Amino acid sequence: MPYAQARPVTAEEIPIIDVGPLMAEQPGALESTAEAIMGASQGLGFYYIRNHAVTTEIREQAFAASRAFFLGSVEAKRAIATNDINRGWMGIGEALMTGATRTDLKELFSWGLELGPDDPEVQAGTPFRGPNQWPQSSPTMRSAIYDGFYAAGCRTGAALLRAVCVGLGLKPDALAPCFEKPMARGQLIYYPPQPADMGEEQFGVSAHTDFGCLTMVCQDDLGGLQVQSRDGEWLAIPPVEGTLLVNVGDLLARWSNGRFASTLHRVVNSSGKERFSMAVFYDPAYHTVIDPRDLGLPPGDEPRFEATVAGEHQLARFNQV
């Protein structure tokens, strides 16, 4: 077969959760949203959300900036090539996921929390901390991507985190101090058309789990994302208009002592067209200790994971790519 195959997902397999009441802090919204998120997080580990903070205007402006950047000059992109704090542009063939046989067929642009040279973590040389790189050829890109999409994604992530806390039996703001200065990363991703003759071993992104806590993805209308179910079957996950697709990452799965599922997923762009997506990876501050005991273990449970430092975990995973 020319492309890796997947079964189209049914509506029952991935829920669509309305987070509008949660975002508006309506009475009872935390509890009802927490219940829905807990069910999804303990199942496939993926769910859609609607009525989040990424408005249609924010989405359209961000996608327009993404298209202009990726389809612009190679020289402008090379001028902001990915640096030692993982900010900037990465070209096709530069990313090889752990266990993959081929490099990913994608370009990406990464950014994070904007920190100046006087910030203590920047001065200390803390990994992932520092200023972003923005293309001089696109003066409006920062506004559309950082002030727009990224800020809205982080607001949404903070609201989801409150619901996660309630679902785990904690106070809503129990983890808020860990996210006051988050390692929240943003990415724009471009997938060129994938020729059929490249075969089943070629992917836009090879199979992997996400490194952090919560990932929020904004897809275009082409599809291509595939998720592996608990029984090993690959499922094709369609874009749903107006939603973000959320998934659990390794750190949150670890923090929850394995109650939440961090699920393998990959991208196959078999559409014959250029595919664009955007993501915010909502992760805690670098020095946050990830210890399952801090989130409360169910009666009789023992910690399945040793405590680890969030940033050190992230750094080790990035060094494998």
Distance in angstroms (rounded) separating the CA atoms of residues 171 and 12: 30
Q: What is the CA radius of gyration of the chain?
A: 19
Distance in angstroms (rounded) separating the CA atoms of residues 173 and 164: 10
Q: Which two tokens stand for residue 150?
A: 């990224």
pLDDT digits over 156-166, tens only? 999 999 999 99
pLDDT digits over 21-46, tens only? 999 999 999 999 999 999 999 999 99
On whether the pTM is more than 0.75, the answer is yes
Distance in angstroms (rounded) separating the CA atoms of residues 88 and 258: 33
pLDDT digits over 243-267, tens only? 999 999 999 999 999 999 999 999 9
Report whether pLDDT(131) > 80: yes
Pairing relationship of beta strands 243-248 and 46-50 according to DSSP bridges: antiparallel
Report whether pLDDT(198) > 70: yes
Q: What is the pLDDT of residue 321?
A: 67
Q: What is the pLDDT of residue 144?
A: 98
Q: Which domains does the chain have, with CATH numbers?
A: 7-318 (2.60.120.330)
The pLDDT mean for the chain works out to 95
114 DSSP β-pair partners: 130
Degrees, nearest 5: CA angle 172-230-102: 105
Please tell me the chain's helix, strand, coil percentages from 3-state DSSP, rounded to the nearest 5: 30, 20, 50
Closest CA to 286 of 178, 144, 132, 167: 178
pLDDT (average), residues 6-25: 93
pLDDT digits over 275-287, tens only? 999 999 999 999 9
pLDDT digits over 209-229, tens only? 999 999 999 999 999 999 999
Q: Tell me the three state secondary structure of residue 208.
A: strand
Element (H, E) at 160: helix 151-167
**Residue given tokens 């949404």 in the structure block:** 156
pLDDT digits over 158-196, tens only? 999 999 999 999 999 999 999 999 999 999 999 999 988
Q: Burial code of 275-299, b = ≥16 C-beta within 10 A, e = fewer? A: bbbbbbbbbbbbebebebeebeeee
Do 107 and 189 touch, CB atoms closer than 8 A? yes
pLDDT above 70 as % of the chain = 99
Confidence bin at 1 (pLDDT 50/70/90) = low
Report whether pLDDT(138) > 90: no
Report whether pLDDT(130) > 80: yes
Distance in angstroms (rounded) separating the CA atoms of residues 150 and 70: 18
Q: Tell me the three state secondary structure of residue 46.
A: strand
pLDDT (average), residues 91-107: 87
Q: What is the pLDDT of residue 114?
A: 97
Confidence bin at 134 (pLDDT 50/70/90) = very high
Confidence bin at 61 (pLDDT 50/70/90) = very high
Distance in angstroms (rounded) separating the CA atoms of residues 135 and 80: 7
Dihedral class, residue 296 (left if φ above 0, else alpha if ψ from -120 to 50, else beta)? left
